[in-house]
A and B are shown apart, each in its own frame.
Chain A
Amino acid sequence: MGFVNDVVPISVTGRSPELDELLTLVARGDETAFERLYDRLIASVFGLIRRVVRDRAQAEEVAQEVMVEVWRTAARFDPARGSAMSWVMTVAHRRAVDRVRSAQAASDREDRVARMGGEVAYDHVAETVTTRLEGERVRRCLDGLTELQRQAVTMAYYGGYSYPEVAGLLKVPLGTVKTRMRDGLVRLRDCMGVER
């Protein structure tokens, strides 16, 4: 990587009480805690956004918006309702999806998918995933899904598609896509050993 090397990767499994604590401090206006939180999470935030929006410059803009939103709305974080990592990644994913769902972006994506076909998106994901130790487990868990579950989950999450768009692209009924997204995620959750 040509950019930074002080980004600490975080474990895929298990919850980090330290992150929860940092975000709680951020809610009280602690800029040092925010900086530490930034260092811990920015690679995940940026990587996810870049996966969804693709364009590097736009991904940087969105990542900046996300981190500022984390700062601004940290008081809404409630550790009883989920981990800090999940909270921040949810903000990041929503912002990324908002960005690509603008009308212009939608037509671009349709073109892109028409060119690529459905399978490419996942292969591209898998390629990056294998470069990281924490990604190994995610990849193995993704491999444990049925083809349709995996496509439904990855097209929605990494591609930023809504479930009716996924249904259209995969040419399967809406109800099937909804179900595959849910049972695919349930299987991933169990495979990753996510705390509930």
Chain B
Amino acid sequence: MNDEIHTLSGAYALNALPLRELGEFEGHLSRCETCTIEVRGLQETTARLGVAVAEAPPRALKSRVMAQIAEVRQEPPLIEEPPGEPEVVVPLRRRSGRWALALAAVSAAAAVSIGVVAVNEIRSRDASIEETRNLLAAPDAVVRKVEMVGGGSATVVASETYGKVMFTSELPALDASKTYQLWTIGGERIRSAGLVDGGGVRTATVDLPAGTDHFGVTVEPAGGSRQPTTEPVMLAKVV
């Protein structure tokens, strides 16, 4: 454990870290179990500091909140890949497009192992703002602007420390039988990172599995695919 960074647990629990250190510390937290346990205890403590200054709000607040939640869709639960789940290994058909070119550069072995497809609906824009902020603050954040096939561009921000990749672009509407699908590609593995609909600017922040070197987007049949079945409309290097 790095003592210097470990002393930030108090400032973190008090939300007193500047953005740069916030990303760094959260990256550290994801790898340090002792720190995670300490932070939880300190957050339970700060919560009590909050409870101690309780003050009743105006009654009208409740009706405003209840009216608003009636119109706000809830995030679905995050589906995590169960650990130890056997993975399906399928051969990657050789392709002539950018997909194959990039992958060839990554790995000579033309085999792709696909994890359990975790299809998460993208988080709403509000949630992305905080994540984006943390992501950009990560010391190893990589920011790329890449061309989209068919015009326009996409911005991809990735941080291995923070363990997230963010994608944002204007995505043309697709007909109902199709969807955009996000992929993280690391060495020999391509994993689904979720589905995104088209028809406007879309921002998605998804987990970046360790060892990921590319992030791609394809158009797939509605419901998504276990492996990419079309040429990518966008492919970005994330290391």
Question: Which positions in A face B, CB cutoff 8 Å?
Answer: 1, 3-5, 7, 9-10, 12-13, 15, 27, 29, 31, 34-35, 38, 42-48, 50-51, 59-60, 63-64, 67-69, 71-76, 81-83, 85-86, 89-90, 92-94, 97, 125, 128-129, 132, 134-135, 138-139, 153-154, 156-158, 160-164, 166, 175, 177-186, 188-189, 192, 194-196
B73: A residues at CB distance < 8 A: 72
What are 25 A-B contacts with C-beta separation under 8 Å? Answer: A3-B57, A13-B48, A27-B74, A31-B69, A38-B65, A38-B66, A47-B53, A59-B57, A64-B61, A68-B68, A72-B75, A75-B78, A76-B75, A81-B40, A82-B44, A89-B50, A128-B55, A129-B52, A132-B54, A134-B52, A135-B53, A160-B15, A178-B8, A185-B42, A194-B41
Considering the chains assembled together, what is the distance between the CA atoms of A161 and B11 in angstroms?
10
- Chain A nearest CB from B43 CB (Å) reads 5
Top 9 A-B residue pairs of the complex, sorted by shortest distance between their CB atoms: A182-B10, A181-B10, A47-B55, A48-B50, A89-B47, A138-B52, A156-B14, A156-B16, A46-B57
Considering the chains assembled together, what is the distance between the CA atoms of A161 and B37 in angstroms?
24
Considering the chains assembled together, what is the distance between the CA atoms of A59 and B53 in angstroms?
14
Q: Are B54 and A97 in contact (CB under 8 A)?
A: no
- Chain B nearest CB from A69 CB (Å) reads 7
- Chain B nearest CB from A191 CB (Å) reads 9
Q: Are B52 and A135 in contact (CB under 8 A)?
A: yes
Q: Which of A5, A35, A125, A134 contacts B51 (CB 8 A)?
A: A134
Q: Are B50 and A44 in contact (CB under 8 A)?
A: yes
Asked, given contacts A93-B15, A181-B14, whether A85 binds B56 with beta carbons under 8 Å apart, the answer is: no
Interface centre among A81, A85, A86, A125 (most CB of B within 10 A): A86
Q: Are A189 and B15 in contact (CB under 8 A)?
A: no
Q: Chain A at the B interface: mostly helix, strand, loop or mixed?
A: helix
- Chain B contact residue count (CB 8 A cutoff): 51
Closest to A12 in B: B48
Considering the chains assembled together, what is the distance between the CA atoms of A95 and B31 in angstroms?
26
Considering the chains assembled together, what is the distance between the CA atoms of A13 and B49 in angstroms?
11
Q: Is B86 an interface residue (CB 8 A)?
A: no
A46: B residues at CB distance < 8 A: 54-57, 61
Q: Which of B47, B59, B78 contacts A76 (CB 8 A)?
A: B78
A93: B residues at CB distance < 8 A: 15, 46, 50
Q: Which of B47, B52, B77 contacts A75 (CB 8 A)?
A: B77
Q: Which of B11, B57, B69, B72 contacts A42 (CB 8 A)?
A: B57
Q: Are B74 and A157 in contact (CB under 8 A)?
A: no
- Chain A nearest CB from B60 CB (Å) reads 9
Q: Is B83 an interface residue (CB 8 A)?
A: no
B55: A residues at CB distance < 8 A: 1, 43, 46-47, 50, 128
Question: Which positions in B face A, CB cutoff 8 Å?
Answer: 7-11, 13-18, 37, 40-59, 61-62, 64-66, 68-70, 72-78, 124, 126-127, 130
Considering the chains assembled together, what is the distance between the CA atoms of A46 and B59 in angstroms?
12
Q: Are B13 and A185 in contact (CB under 8 A)?
A: yes
Asked, given contacts A162-B17, A178-B7, whether A194 binds B44 with beta carbons under 8 Å apart, the answer is: yes
B43: A residues at CB distance < 8 A: 82, 86, 90
B13: A residues at CB distance < 8 A: 185
Q: Are A35 and B66 in contact (CB under 8 A)?
A: yes
Seed contacts A42-B56, A71-B69; 13 additional CB < 8 Å A-B pairs: A12-B51, A46-B56, A47-B55, A48-B51, A48-B54, A64-B61, A64-B64, A68-B68, A76-B75, A85-B44, A85-B47, A157-B14, A178-B10
Considering the chains assembled together, what is the distance between the CA atoms of A188 and B13 in angstroms?
13
- Chain A nearest CB from B127 CB (Å) reads 7
Asked, given contacts A27-B74, A93-B15, A181-B14, whether A194 binds B45 with beta carbons under 8 Å apart, the answer is: yes
